[in-house]
Chains A and B, each alone.
Chain A
Amino acid sequence: MRHIEQYGQSDYTPVPGKFTLFLRNCIIWQIIQFAWINLKMTVLIVKSHH
């Protein structure tokens, strides 16, 4: 039982909830994320070239 063990590294660390875990593999949401990541990276590249 975790509550009777000594404190460990995991006791003060946030972990994702069920909805977050669902979104990580939800195809529709991930397609949107894919576009978003690419947009973010494109902006980054444009800003980085001098």
Chain B
Amino acid sequence: MARLIIMGGGVSGHTAASFAKKWLGNEHEVVVVTPNSLWNWIPSNIFVGVGEMSKEDVTFPLAPVYEKAGIDYRQAKAVSIHPEGKIEDDTPFITVEYTGQGKEGQTEELTYDYLINATGPKLNFDATPGLGNGKGDVGEHTVSVCTADHAIHASLELKAVVEKMKAGEEKRFLIGTGHGMCTCQGAAFEYIFNVDHYLKQEGVRDKATITYISNEYELGDFGVGGMHIKAGGYVTSGKVFAESLYVERGLRWIKRAHVNKVEADKVHYETLDGNMHEEDYDFAMLIPPFAGVGMKAYAKDGSDMTDVIFAPNGMMKVDADYESGARGFENWSPNDWPSTLQNPTYDNIFAVGIAFAPPHFISKPMSSPNGTPINPTPPRTGMPSAMMGKAVAASICDMIKGVADKPIHTASMSEMGAACVASTGKGLLNGTAVSMTMYPVVPDYKKYEYGRDLNGTFGTIGLAGHWVKLLLHYGFIWKAKLKPGWTLIPE
């Protein structure tokens, strides 16, 4: 009997665990180690952040789902990896520290045959002074929608501001990225439209100045260097459509910005031209940068070998070409990106989703004259992370069953697409959405003139996208609960 341990129970980890258990059956063990007791459909946190959905609408308890599926669930955080085992025993293991199940604070060693790192990111609020609370969580000045609890807090703060607006006060809203190296601009993009929609519903939009602040070079970059689509007889940049959405709603924007300090009523930021600025606010939702979760790795003799397995940013090394970043973006290639997601040193360790270290940016790297890097980091969430989880689970299952002696399933971001739906409102007839697809995520300028397949890359705005968003919300939660037919719902 082989044991597969998956560290992390988010989109990629949960997908990997679900398929691995389905394919391996009861002959082998699948263990999920996650500090969370709830599974969270993170894209819908946006709706929680404006009070349109509750925490219960976007989360569910993992324990009963895993119990039914036969997955060994440990509510614990992974602390360290020991890929060579101990001096007296070669069996690799991880150490975990429980956060629930009545074992809070207890540590345990769990041996494995195969290991998937799907921990997701550390929300690195403290990278920007004032954005964090100094203890790794969101600070007192701004709000976040990165977790369901953060989103509830955001909703309460938003409601409090709206009450003051109803009493006649004018308010300034600032929504965007809280650091020059953030990813996940899509969340801020969607949240700002939902805040605009909410303020209109509450009849106070005329008392609001809403500003988007972003580390993107242009609106619509999204950390993937933007995208071109066919529209109106032109091949045009997504920037045009993104700006149009902001203008249509009377939203201001600040781009190429690195927020370097957050105070109670203002942020300080540097722009790519090296100038320093300030922006006042009454309500701010700023996305933090991501980092690795800070796991350690130790050799057989107990010596620290974290840098062998992990990149300096704490993300796990996989089969990417990590030399490519130094060759300059003009020499970047789709082949730089990992495909099997296998660790190059230990072939029984894999990393998926945000947990794997990308070889370089997708957007062109840029720095201000002061040397401050200001550009989005590559997104690895949602659809791509689920596809990675499934591909890695398939490879490991094949190796466990003896069908293959090396990973044969791939999920390279240079060979997969991504879909994104940014929606406002919740009703069936009063919502609207921006729907986008792109293929591939990592542009290939040798294969495609504009980096991507123009037949697979498109965008549209309207009620239909809103229906798609609702369909995805209910469909993916159904799938994550492993209800009948869950395998028929694609990643």
The answer to whether A30 and B244 touch across the interface, beta carbons within 8 angstroms, is no
Of the listed residues A9, A33, A37, A40, the one surrounded by the most CB atoms of chain B closer than 10 A to its CB is: A37
Q: B-contacting residues of A (Cβ < 8 Å)?
A: 9-10, 13-16, 23-25, 27, 29-31, 33-34, 36-38, 40-45, 47-50
Given contacts A9-B252, A14-B244, A50-B410, contact A38 B468 (CB under 8 A): yes
Inter-subunit contact B456/A44 (CB<8 Å)? yes
Contacting pair A13 B247 (CB below 8 A): yes
| Chain A CB within 8 A of B110 CB | no
Contacts beyond the supplied A13-B243, A36-B464, A45-B417: 7 A-B pairs with Cβ under 8 Å: A13-B247, A14-B244, A15-B244, A38-B468, A41-B437, A48-B417, A50-B410
Cβ-defined contact, A50 with B391, below 8 A:
yes
- Closest A-B pairs by Cβ, 10 of them: A33-B464, A48-B416, A24-B462, A34-B464, A44-B417, A30-B464, A10-B247, A30-B463, A13-B247, A13-B243
User: Is B468 a contact of A40 with CB atoms below 8 Å?
Assistant: no
Taking Cβ atoms with an 8 Å cutoff, the residues of B that contact A are: 240, 243-244, 246-248, 252-253, 383, 387, 391, 409-412, 415-419, 432, 435, 437, 439, 456, 458, 460-465, 467-468, 490-491
In contact, A25 and B460 (Cβ under 8 angstroms): no
| Number of A-B contacts defined by CB within 8 Å | 87
A9, A29, A30, A48: the one contacting B247 at CB < 8 Å is A9
**A15 vs B252: C-alpha distance when bound (angstroms):** 15
Main secondary structure of the interface of A (DSSP, over half): helix
Chain A residues, Cβ within 8 Å of B460: 33, 36-37
Which residues on the B side are within 8 Å of A47 (C-beta)?
416-417, 439, 456
Question: Smallest distance from the beta carbon of A48 to chain B beta carbons, Å?
Answer: 4
Cβ-defined contact, A48 with B464, below 8 A: no
Residues of B within 8 A of A27 (CB): 463
- Whether B248 and A50, one on each chain, are in contact in the complex, defined by CB atoms closer than 8 angstroms, is no
5 A–B pairs (Cβ distance < 8 Å), ordered by A: A9-B253, A15-B247, A33-B465, A37-B465, A47-B439
